[in-house]
Amino acid sequence: MPTGLRGVVDWIRRRAENVVAGLLGLMFAAFIVQIVFRYFFNFPIGWSSELSVAAWLYLTLLGSAFWLKESDEIRFDLISGALGPLGRRVLAFIVAVAAVVLFGMALPATISYVTFMKVEKSSYLGVRLDILYSVYVVFAVAVIVRYAWAIVSLLRGEVPEVADVTQTTSGL
């Protein structure tokens, strides 16, 4: 990746990390407020639960689109780990093309459905659902761009890294 573009990607990744941390804090605060109102004041509130769900939705999709690195993603490396460099490259190419094609094919219907949801509002907060779910369109476009870049990188001859299962972030 060119140095200037690498700097932009790193900056976006750091800002996404800030957003993810803020959303986690918001979820925690809403959770504590919900506990206090339910068990201390005997007055259950619904908006805190709705806020937590919305924050989780944004945290998951924005974090996956902009913060997680390819090596941090969940992967089925049983097959790719057993392959050599050429096999990993071919498999990564097939996966990247499939992701771009499938997300690309689904994008018009996704946008149509999200814009259709403007007729609905969330129960407690009153947020229009097209605004709430628009984050999925951002996620889908980011996935298309990420895997399109992966296709370009693979065509340039870059070999996908081998997953190191001994690392803490491997999930094992």
Tell whether the model's pLDDT for residue 63 goes beyond 70: yes
85/54 same-domain check: no
Phi, psi of 34 (to 5 degrees): -60, -45
Q: Residue 169: inside a domain, yes or no?
A: no
Phi, psi of 128 (to 5 degrees): -60, 135
> In the structure encoding, which two tokens stand for residue 74, read together?
């969940």
Tell whether the model's pLDDT for residue 140 goes beyond 90: yes
Spatial contact of 81 and 53, defined as CB atoms under 8 Å apart: no
Q: Residue 172: inside a domain, yes or no?
A: no
30/78 same-domain check: no
The predicted model scores a pTM of 0.82
Q: Residue 171: inside a domain, yes or no?
A: no
100/143 same-domain check: yes
Confidence (pLDDT) at 74: 67
Confidence (pLDDT) at 73: 67
Q: Which segments of the chain does DSSP mark as H helices, in order?
A: 3-35, 47-62, 77-80, 85-116, 129-155
Tell whether the model's pLDDT for residue 167 goes beyond 90: no
Tell whether the model's pLDDT for residue 80 goes beyond 50: yes
Among 6-10, 25-29, 53-57, which stretch is predicted with the lowest mean pLDDT? 6-10
Torsion angle (degrees, nearest 10) of CA 130, 134, 140, 142? 160
Mean pLDDT of 73-86: 75
Q: Which of 164, 162, 134, 149 is nearest to 5 (CA)?
A: 149
Tell whether the model's pLDDT for residue 172 goes beyond 50: no
pLDDT averaged over every residue in the chain: 87
